[in-house]
Structure 1
């Protein structure tokens, strides 16, 4: 194992750097998502919640877990989407009180309307970074998210 350089950042500096960079990146992603979603009549938050149920209906709690959001924030957004006619609550055979949330045809059409802008931005990002570097970055971000989540669990590290 190589000796640590005297100028190498310590774990606390690395954590701060990772957190600040992720906050900056989140802000940029939200700004880009808002610009893409606006012409389809959505906000970034509404797009995010609809996107979570494109393949299968989920409970509000299930969406919150999958997206790393609070249940209350997802509930507010889901209710707004239902009010717009872009989503609906369906009976849940597994739980009588926790309804399943699913997009309507109008909701699916709104998300499809974002597709061209999303594809164009994705292509520009891949060109800017290179597809292989972008793929490595995504994988590193997934590993970092998994590591942070594992450390948040009760009894982690004990």
Structure 2
């Protein structure tokens, strides 16, 4: 097979990737509407979630890595969260310039409100989908993420 011909699996993966693009856009719009009342956007909510779910306070670069996002974009959003009093910066004992990002009480309240709005909506969205299908989709997405990370890492080395 030459490089210009897609295999059946390659065609199926292309269809999946195109669907992922569409789902991503729809998910962001849906999330923006869901959390707007709490002064959040999908991007802000995602970063608050990364902070909440981290084992300990992290600098922006680590949050970006965990999210698979661009550090500069995460920094911009964290700065906005800071301006709104949802996070604060604390000294990092391991790095003088890379401050730790810490959720404030106001940030925790906004995150908790967003989750309270999200849970019933996501539960309703599962209707007609089996747990097994959802778990399979997650495994496929995780494998694809791992392969894409590997390709990007290889490009950095070249």
The Cα RMSD (Å) is 2.1
- Compute the displacement of 1:155 (Å): 6.6
Query: What SS does the aligned partner of 1:45 have?
Result: helix
Take 1:131 and 1:9, find their aligned partners in 2: how far apart are those partners? Answer: 27
- Compute the displacement of 1:91 (Å): 0.7
TM-score by length of 1: 0.86
Give the gaps of 5 or more residues in structure 1: 1-7
Query: What SS does the aligned partner of 1:100 have?
Result: strand
| Corresponding residue number in structure 2 for 1:102 | 102
Query: What SS does the aligned partner of 1:127 have?
Result: coil
| Corresponding residue number in structure 1 for 2:48 | 50
More strand by share: 2
After TM superposition, the runs of 4+ consecutive aligned structure 1 residues lying more than 4 A away are none
| Corresponding residue number in structure 2 for 1:3 | none
Does the alignment pair 1:29 with 2:2? no
| Corresponding residue number in structure 1 for 2:3 | none
The equivalences for 1:1-158 within 5 A come to 9=8, 11=10, 13-55=11-53, 56-154=56-154
Give the gaps of 5 or more residues in structure 2: 1-6
